[in-house]
Amino acid sequence: MAVTFKKYHGLGNDYLVYDCIKNTYELTPKRARMICDRHFGVGSDGILVGPYFEEDGIHVKIYNPDGSMAEESGNGIRIFARYLKDNDYVQKKHFVLHTDRGSVEVTYLNENGSRLRASMGKLNFFSDEIPVTGPRREVINEEMEFGGNTYKTTCVSIGIPHCVIPMDEISREKVCSIGKFSEDAPCFPNRMNTLIMKPIDEYNIAIEIHERGAGYTLASGSGSCAAAGVAYRLGLASNKMTVHMPGGELQVEIEEDGEVLMTGDVGYVGTTTLGYEFLAKLRVLE
């Protein structure tokens, strides 16, 4: 029984697509974690499983590299939409993709589907809906302590929780030093994605990213939307901006009602077929 994956990346944020129609092997959290391992497995920032065809349309499930499930992924949405077009599951220019977080409107912006726009939902700064512990309030510019250091932090959900910390200078080392404490901080009951953000000018910001269940990543679609939303809310940027990340750039637009539109590219890497030795190791896992 052959088990195959298609590998794509969104600005260096790489995912494996597991087609549940063309494959019959059962994925589990432990198996997903081993497959995502960059030393002993195929290596990826997660696995996109689908398409599941239901009455309301096409659904996708998303594994983080630690085997946990993600409600949504901005890069993952664009990648899976590209896969659907590549494999003739979708022929229309516009369609709706369903995740565990909700529905996302996707638009193909070129013929081969490598550039896409996705409507990512509305920004939510309220503590009980992110969630952040404590009384209900908008979590904006609050002092929070991570690893013995205090930071002015704004928290926001766009289906996935993010904390955003504006800084004059940002780096991989800085976000990782904060993220290892903030991801599982007691004030974040569902764990937290951590972004440090440098405002550049009215139309540009730069971010570094530490994702829950994944660690440091080169790019994040939902993270870009969250950081852009925070920059706009704090008056650091306009409602249309380019978000610069180590893996590349995304264009983000925040509409008057808080809806966020994200535009970016997706690249196809290739096909991976799991070997019999590796499959034997997976079979012993639950």
CA dist 150 and 164 (Å) reads: 13
Q: How far is CA 149 from the centre of its chain?
A: 26
Nearest Cα to Cα of residue 66 among 274, 211, 184, 179 = 211
Residues in the annotated binding site for substrate: 13, 64, 74-75, 193, 211-212, 221-222
Which residue, chain included where needed, has tokens 């079979």?
Answer: 283
CA dist 46 and 49 (Å) reads: 10
Angle between helix 276-283 and 29-36 (nearest 10) = 150
Instruction: Report how many helices (DSSP H) and strands (DSSP E) the chain contains, helices first.
Output: 5, 18
Beta-sheet strands, E only, within the chain = 4-10, 13-19, 47-54, 57-63, 69-70, 94-98, 103-108, 115-122, 142-146, 149-157, 161-166, 193-201, 204-211, 215-217, 240-245, 248-254, 259-265, 267-273
Residues in the annotated binding site: 13, 64, 74-75, 193, 211-212, 221-222
3-state helix, strand, coil in the chain (%, to 5): 20, 40, 40
3-class DSSP assignment, residue 216: strand
3-state secondary structure 122-145: ECECEHHHCCCCCCCCECCCEEEE
**Dihedral class, residue 23 (left if φ above 0, else alpha if ψ from -120 to 50, else beta):** beta
